[in-house]
Amino acid sequence: MYFIVTITSIVSINSQFTTLNSQLSILNSQLLTLNSQLKMIDTHSHIYGSEYDEDRADVIARAIEVGVEKVLLANVDTSTINEMLICHNQYPDFTKMAMGLHPTSVKEDWQTELRNIEDALRAGNKYVSVGEIGLDLYWDKTFASEQEKVLEQQLDWAISLNLPVILHIRKAHAETFKVLSKFKGKPLRGVFHCFGGGVEEAKKAVDMGFLLGIGGVVTYKNSNLGEIIEPIGINHILLETDAPYLSPVPNRGKRNEPANLVYVRDRLSSIFQINSQKVDEITTKNARELFDFS
Ligand SMILES: [Zn+2]
């Protein structure tokens, strides 16, 4: 009797396992479908740098695996143009490029730098944006007034070429808004990359039609970025990594890469109380509207 009961239970448990297994495999295939629908765009990255020379193909494979469909490469100065072009030529469908002179590269030779950047920018229609450009008074204020001149010049180019700009602003929001106010009424558009301002700056940027680029910082415990962007709304947000910098939790401190966008995306999902798919959908739409990814 005992034996028969045991056998029956085993058969029953076995069939339950089979059912559970088939349910799991359905769930798995639904997850796969969902995953293939989730598409993110990393709107700011430097994966052309030598930090990725050993494993760039793996970095890109990991990004594609989690649903990153495109990465926008931002230039820094003359020294980075070539490596960026090489990376883009290797992955022409996966990458897009922005051309600009970064404020921390504005030094004694700023005029030569600016000429080189202009030559590159005007050489064909390879660039979808002027960037990264801006003001950085965090490290060094020696060339503060030159930085402003360089920024203005590049904003002029963006308007004449009808391209959006990628703004890098560090400890210089008031100064940047002062420069931007000179362009009032002009068709200037773009993103405050790695947005690091407060509530007022966020509102001001969005009122001017700019988007806010949000990356790893939003996942940091000591950051109040989540509270700042929550009232702004997801419709004004772009996803970005700024790889190799600013890796999100749980990879903080390590080399960043586009696949880490999932952690930024998930944090935004909890800030805005919408599901991950919605975050991807809206931020991808925002990126596509700002940059011409055709
Ligand atoms: Zn950058």
Each residue's pLDDT tens digit, 128-138 = 999 999 999 99
Q: How much is the average pLDDT of 14-23? A: 64
Number of Cβ within a 10 Å radius of residue 136: 20
Instruction: State whether 31 and 55 are in the same domain.
Output: no
Give the count of domains, the chain. 2
User: Which CATH number belongs to the domain containing residue 254 in this structure?
Assistant: 3.20.20.140
Distance 44 CA to ligand 1 centre (A): 6
The CA distance from 285 to 10, in Å, is: 53
Instruction: State whether 24 and 82 are in the same domain.
Output: no
Distance 62 CA to ligand 1 centre (A): 21
Instruction: State whether 91 and 200 are in the same domain.
Output: yes
What is the per-residue pLDDT across 90-100, written as a single tens digit (0 to 9) for each?
999 999 999 99
Instruction: State whether 21 and 42 are in the same domain.
Output: no
Q: How much is the average pLDDT of 114-128? A: 94
Distance 216 CA to ligand 1 centre (A): 13
Instruction: State whether 73 and 5 are in the same domain.
Output: no
Instruction: State whether 55 and 126 are in the same domain.
Output: yes
Distance 46 CA to ligand 1 centre (A): 7
224 three-state secondary structure: coil
Distance 30 CA to ligand 1 centre (A): 36
Residue-number span of the structural domain to which 92 is assigned: 38-290
End-to-end CA distance of the chain: 73
Total-model pTM: 0.87
The CA distance from 224 to 105, in Å, is: 29
Distance 76 CA to ligand 1 centre (A): 7
Going by C-beta distance under 8 Å and a sequence separation of 6 or more, which residues neighbour residue 137? 144, 147, 170, 171, 172, 175
Q: Where are the beta strands (DSSP E) in 118-268?
A: 127-136, 165-170, 190-193, 211-214, 237-239
